[in-house]
């Protein structure tokens, strides 16, 4: 079955580097997408791709079936739900993980 796996919660402290891991079992998926979601608001794409990449404080590592989102210098305001998703090279359907709720202690 096509699935995406990520931890349900991650806890951190302000200023640390947070890593959220994701892996999948989708045979024709080569690209990862990391979304930030504050409940009640629109999910926002942070970083995507089929190779390691960086957007501001967000880094994405890449392996064929796994990726990690690294958040540098994490802040209390980063506390939210982070979704990992994968997509094949054709069509646009995203397959999402369950979401990881990040908590940040001051």
Partner 1 sequence: GAGVSQSPSNKVTEKGKDVELRCDPISGHTALYWYRQSLGQGLEFLIYFQGNSAPDKSGLPSDRFSAERTGGSVSTLTIQRTQQEDSAVYLCASSLEDRGAADTQYFGPGTRLTVL
Task: Out of 18, 23, 24, 43, name the contact with partner 1 by CB under 8 A.
Answer: 43
**Geometric angle at alpha carbon 33, from 77 and 16, rounded to 5°:** 35
- The backbone torsions φ and ψ at residue 34, rounded to the nearest 5 degrees and listed phi first, read -115, 120
Nearer to partner 1 by C-beta: 93 or 105?
A: 93
Smallest gap from Cβ 37 to partner 1, in A, equals 8
Kindly list the strands in the beta sheet with 18-24, ordered across the sheet, starting from the edge strand earlier in the chain. Answer: 4-5, 18-24, 66-71, 58-60, 53-55
Smallest gap from Cβ 1 to partner 1, in A, equals 13
**Geometric angle at alpha carbon 22, from 19 and 24, rounded to 5°:** 170
Smallest gap from Cβ 13 to partner 1, in A, equals 26
Smallest gap from Cβ 32 to partner 1, in A, equals 9
Q: Which residues bind partner 1 (CB under 8 A)?
A: 4, 30-31, 33, 35, 40-45, 48-50, 83, 85, 87-99
């Amino acid at each position: 079955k096509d699935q995406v796996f990520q931890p349900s919660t991650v806890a951190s402290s302000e200023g640390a580097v947070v890593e959220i891991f994701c892996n999948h079992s989708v045979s024709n998926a080569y690209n990862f997408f990391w979304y930030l979601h504050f409940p009640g608001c629109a999910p926002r794409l942070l970083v995507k791709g089929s190779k390691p990449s960086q957007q501001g404080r967000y880094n994405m590592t890449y392996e064929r079936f796994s990726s990690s989102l690294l958040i540098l210098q994490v802040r209390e305001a980063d506390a939210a739900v982070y979704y990992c998703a994968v997509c094949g090279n054709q069509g646009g359907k995203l397959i999402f993980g369950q979401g990881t709720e990040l908590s940040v202690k001051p």
